[in-house]
Amino acid sequence: MSSMLIKGARVVAPAEDIDRVMDVYIRDGYIAELDSSRQTADTVLEGAGLVLAPGFVDIHVHLRDPGFTHKEDIFTGCEAAARGGFTGVVCMPNTNPPVDSAETIAYIREKAASAKAKVYPVCTITKGMQGQQLSDFAALKAAGAVAASDDGRPVANAAVMQAGMEACFRLGLPVVSHCEDLDIIAGGIIHKGEVSEQLGVRGMDRTSEDTITAREVALAESTGTQIHICHVSTEASVALIRDAKRRGVRVTCESAPHYMLLTHKELLRRDANWRMNPPLREERDCQAIIEGFCDGTIDALITDHAPHAPEEKADFEKAPNGIIGLETSFAGACTALVASGKMGIGRLIELMSVNPCRILSLPGGHIRVGDAADLALFDPAEKWTFTQQDIASKSRNTPFLGWEFTGRVHATIKDGAVTFQL
């Protein structure tokens, strides 16, 4: 038997309506006592002045494994996750091969068994992510897929997407949509606007995201199915989803810290570490994302952690899109939303833990006796500067080096074991 005692932390568990200072006793990987009177354990963590929350769960991560392990692998991605307070990550299927077989899901799950975060695989909507033939959803769900998506690419054909949504809905398998019209994008590499014009590069029109968001909402509404919208970045998409929710459409959505903290003006430096898809947009879009998080339109905070090797990011115009984000997600969101006074820490925990688990029906999001001890211990008021030494990812493609954040993870506990500690 092993035991752990976390002493004197402010325990914040929104799902249990808990927000008070207490000791938490863990035994054999499970929460055994809340408000414990025990004084000793095999491991004692001092929590005075810190918040103890359900471990964060990121439902949109690219671990690049199998096939692209020069960028990231399951072990290094989960190491980065642990540093950011994450006890679970959901990995997207645009690997090599794509996650369209039970064998690939088995590979991911077996490798992840000894990693520092729990890994939940997403399968493809279409075989090979080619947008034509639907995957065998029943077999893939039985193998362990928690959702279906062609993320990295849109499903261009609306009829194929509708058929996929209906098939997945019958199985209780959530569908996650990458909303992008490639014909509108037409080779664009950054947001279409004054910065793309000034740099003389092709831009990515915001209507690319907005039209497919509207399509997915319409499909969900007309078929009575449900849809989860990936990485929302535009003012109009937030408004479309807000309106759909008011009408009772079964739609949820997510966004990331960089869509609150950065605008396309950062691209004037011609550095591909500021390039991602969807791209950084305008200040009005940043404000819309913040409002969406605050009013409940946006359900979950994700990273879209997308590692790329330095040589791949060296050429501004030819580089692949994407940035890493697991190490900075909590800090960035806490800075943008909590330190600014826009929301309380309980609401941020909902966005990073409670809601992600609810959306994909994953374990977690709670602090209850008998539940797995998956926890994050952090200081929401600590100011700190993010440096190279804080990166655990195999890649280094972040726009946040040198940033001063407010809010820092001090320890991460998965199944009662410390996976990260300052």
- Are the beta carbons of 377 and 51 closer than 8 angstroms? yes
| Total Cβ atoms within 10 A of residue 389 | 6
Peptide bond preceding 66 in cis form (omega within 30 of 0): yes
- Are the beta carbons of 136 and 168 closer than 8 angstroms? no
Q: How far apart are CA 387 and CA 33, in angstroms?
A: 37
SS3 295: helix
Residues 6+ apart with CB under 8 A from 17: none
> Which pLDDT score is estimated for 329?
98
Catalytic amino acids? 304
Residues 6+ apart with CB under 8 A from 20: 10, 11
Print pLDDT tens along the chain (422 aa).
Answer: 799 999 999 999 999 999 999 999 999 999 999 999 999 999 999 999 999 999 999 999 999 999 999 999 999 999 999 999 999 999 999 999 999 999 999 999 999 999 999 999 999 999 999 999 999 999 999 999 999 999 999 999 999 999 999 999 999 999 999 999 999 999 999 999 999 999 999 999 999 999 999 999 999 999 999 999 999 999 999 999 999 999 999 999 999 999 999 999 999 999 999 999 999 999 999 999 999 999 999 999 999 999 999 999 999 999 999 999 999 999 999 999 999 999 999 999 999 999 999 999 999 999 999 999 999 999 999 999 999 999 999 999 999 999 999 999 999 999 999 999 99
DSSP of 378-418: EEEEEEEE--GGG--SS----S-TT-EEEEEEEEEEETTEE
Ordered structural domains, the chain, with CATH: 3-51+372-381+400-421 (2.30.40.10), 55-360 (3.20.20.140)
**Cα–Cα separations (whole angstroms), residue 24 to 7, 40, 49, 354:** 7, 11, 15, 19
320 burial type by CB count under 10 A (0-12 exposed, 13-18 middle, 19+ buried): middle
End-to-end CA distance of the chain: 25
> Which pLDDT score is estimated for 1?
74
DSSP of 168-216: HHHHT--BEE----HHHHTT--EESSHHHHHHT--EE-THHHHHHHHHH
Written as six digits, the tokens of 379 are 């200081």
- Are the beta carbons of 380 and 71 closer than 8 angstroms? no
- Are the beta carbons of 383 and 406 closer than 8 angstroms? yes
SS3 27: strand
Q: How far apart are CA 403 and CA 390, in angstroms?
A: 12
**Cα–Cα separations (whole angstroms), residue 5 to 37, 84, 396:** 10, 21, 35
